[in-house]
């Protein structure tokens, strides 16, 4: 019976996701801050059945963290020396189960928060958080394929509607709960919920109308003219909300988001936590259920009032705080569904035949040499080829180096790829050169930063490509596009690259035939004509035109590159700005 010590796939994926998230967050100046795990029971928390409470030996009711934001808000509110801080945390949060006596659910949440004393700067920081969300999606190709978008709202937009319609403040919570619970339901269902709250015909009609609004800022701003033109607190609140959104979106345009952005007036987040701009990163749920809703990857927003609520009596804490929280489990699940698992180890050292003391010493010396090169390597837990190969398979290790007694100084290197492997005979020095040139398992993908622009590479392929081929293509594309950094594109901060399984001739024909300067309908008509002209490449062209449409009409890119994988040709596409 084969024996090994395989690590669970989820643990490997979690480690990979955590390292990738930390790499993104540290790029934005984030630092881990240790805060108390438990906090006293907060007023109003008794209404939340998800929170986990228990009593300490002195009779004090304390709570485990339900999210990473509330404990951090309490921490900075009671630290007078905190006036500016960027922190990140990837920790467990706890949710109670409805079944009495069961262990609470343990989930991992990744939070990034920016605290400052300048409230105007907080709008720019909010735009930065949205860019971080876009970076996280770009970090994992599995998330890119799901079609995530950024949905932005403002608590002032919804509250101004309620005030304009004369909805009493004691019914706001009921209305918000109705909007939250029916966000995936029909318009008729919402109308029934609002009618049950006895809001009046005008309020029900107006909220039902705005419930489905999800558009650009200009369209939403024009819809609020009837409120803004009035006098009173509702108009002032709406004007301030629109001003905040406009200022934040101006900063966002300079940051060049990868994800499409829409304004959602009726976006409802936890009103006890957020005040001001709120947002979520979501896509349509892929689960096969009767009720198709949105799949939330991240939520966030401003929480100045939450910080102020935790201030010690008599102390004034006028801080601006904004944060974003990611569901780590959802990222891990997306990677698990894709079927690829990153390895914890890059190479396993095994042996062929019996192991002598001299061979063991040679194996240990090679192990130390690999460690000194920062190559994650381990010894096979048991002697023999089958045992070592089984260990590699169970732990997703891509390389197996086998030493043999009659061949001192030489070894056989197996490069494992799913159920296949290739084998080559190398000297010890050649093995070290191989790992010195090869990209490591945890190296960043899809971004190549040099003196020129950062490349964001998206593969538009019919069949899934392996990890090793993906890395080879990425390195190849980065080398081919390096001369662009010397020209006018060197000033572009981020350059999107769509890699397709086409020849350079078909690629150039595609650029010539696609009507990228007109509206979306004209573009789609030209895309149909392109497919008809090249029926042999129908699948590839359908994927290509879909990616190009997203870049031009949703993400609003004006410069990008199309790369032909078959003959390493590329075409720089420049589209006139539509703003």
pLDDT of residue 445: 41
Give the pLDDT band (50/70/90) at residue 400.
Answer: very high
Q: Return phi, psi of residue 105, to 5°.
A: -70, 140
Give the pLDDT band (50/70/90) at residue 447.
Answer: very low
pLDDT of residue 480: 84
pTM for the whole structure:
0.71
Lowest mean pLDDT among 20-24, 181-185, 347-351, 373-377: 181-185
Roughly how many angstroms between the first and final C-alpha of the chain, as a whole number? 66
50-105 tens-digit pLDDT:
788 777 777 888 888 888 999 999 999 888 888 899 999 999 998 887 666 678 88
Give the pLDDT band (50/70/90) at residue 335.
Answer: confident
Q: How many CB atoms lie within 10 A of CB 2?
A: 12
Structure tokens at 226: 């009837």
SS3 letters for 466-486? CHHHHHHHHHHHHHHCHHHHH
* Alpha-carbon distance values, 441 to 28, 435, 452 (Å): 23, 11, 24
Contacts 24+ apart (CB under 8 A), 477-480: 477/563, 477/570, 478/448, 478/450, 480/563, 480/568, 480/570
pLDDT of residue 42: 67
pLDDT mean over 243-268 = 87
Lowest mean pLDDT among 85-94, 131-140, 182-191: 182-191
Give the pLDDT band (50/70/90) at residue 438.
Answer: low
Higher pLDDT, 2 or 460: 460
Is the pLDDT reported for residue 228 higher than 60?
Answer: yes
The structural domains of the chain, ordered by start, are 347-436 (3.40.50.800), 454-574 (no CATH)
């Amino acid at each position: 019976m084969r024996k090994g010590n395989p690590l669970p796939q989820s643990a490997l994926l979690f480690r990979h996701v955590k390292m990738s998230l930390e790499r993104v967050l540290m790029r934005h100046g984030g630092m881990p801050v240790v805060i108390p795990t438990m906090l006293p029971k907060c007023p109003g928390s008794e209404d939340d059945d998800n929170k986990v409470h228990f009593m300490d030996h002195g009779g004090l009711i304390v709570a485990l963290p339900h999210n990473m934001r509330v404990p951090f808000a309490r921490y900075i509110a009671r630290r007078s020396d905190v006036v500016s801080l960027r922190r990140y945390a990837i920790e467990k949060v706890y949710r109670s189960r409805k079944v009495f006596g069961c262990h609470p659910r343990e989930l991992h949440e990744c939070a990034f928060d920016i605290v400052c004393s300048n409230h105007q700067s907080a709008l720019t920081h909010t735009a930065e958080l949205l860019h971080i969300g876009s970076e996280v999606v770009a970090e994992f190709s599995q998330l890119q394929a799901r079609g995530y978008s950024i949905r932005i709202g403002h608590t002032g937009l919804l509250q101004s509607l309620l005030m304009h319609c004369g909805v009493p403040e004691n019914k706001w919570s009921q209305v918000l709960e109705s909007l939250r619970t029916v966000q995936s339901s029909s318009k008729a269902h919402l109308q029934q919920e609002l009618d049950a709250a006895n809001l009046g015909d005008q309020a029900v009609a107006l909220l039902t109308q705005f419930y489905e609004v999800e558009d650009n800022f200009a369209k939403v701003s024009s819809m609020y003219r009837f409120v803004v033109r009035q006098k009173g607190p509702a108009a002032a609140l709406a004007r301030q909300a629109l001003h905040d959104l406009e200022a934040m979106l101006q900063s966002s345009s300079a940051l060049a988001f990868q994800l499409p952005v829409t304004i959602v007036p009726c976006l409802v987040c936890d009103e006890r936590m957020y005040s001001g701009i709120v947002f979520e990163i979501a896509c349509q749920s892929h689960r096969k259920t009767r009720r198709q809703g949105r799949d939330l990857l991240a939520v966030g927003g401003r929480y100045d009032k939450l910080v102020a609520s935790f201030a010690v009596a008599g102390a004034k804490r006028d801080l601006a705080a904004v944060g974003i929280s990611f569901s780590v489990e959802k990222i891990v699940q997306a990677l698990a569904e894709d079927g690829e698992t990153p390895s914890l180890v890059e190479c396993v050292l095994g042996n062929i035949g019996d192991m002598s003391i001299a061979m063991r010493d040679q194996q240990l010396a090679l192990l130390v040499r690999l460690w000194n090169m920062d190559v994650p390597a381990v010894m096979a837990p048991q002697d023999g080829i089958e045992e070592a190969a089984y260990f590699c398979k169970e732990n997703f290790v891509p390389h197996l180096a086998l030493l043999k007694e009659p061949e001192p100084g030489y070894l056989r290197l197996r490069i494992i790829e799913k159920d296949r492997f290739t084998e080559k005979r190398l000297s010890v020095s050649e093995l070290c050169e191989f790992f010195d040139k090869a990209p490591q398992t945890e190296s960043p993908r899809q971004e190549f930063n040099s003196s020129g622009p950062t490349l964001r590479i998206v593969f538009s392929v019919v069949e899934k490509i392996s990890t090793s081929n993906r890395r080879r293509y990425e390195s190849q594309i980065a080398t081919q596009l390096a001369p662009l950094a010397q020209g006018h594109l060197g000033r572009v901060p981020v350059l999107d690259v769509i890699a397709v399984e086409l020849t350079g001739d078909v690629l150039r024909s595609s650029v010539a035939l696609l009507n990228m300067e007109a509206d979306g309908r004209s573009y789609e008509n030209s895309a149909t004509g392109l497919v008809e002209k090249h029926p042999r490449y129908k699948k590839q062209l359908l994927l290509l035109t879909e990616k190009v449409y997203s870049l031009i009409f949703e993400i609003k890119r004006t410069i990008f590159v199309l790369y032909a994988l078959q003959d390493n040709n590329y075409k720089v596409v420049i589209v006139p700005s539509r703003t």
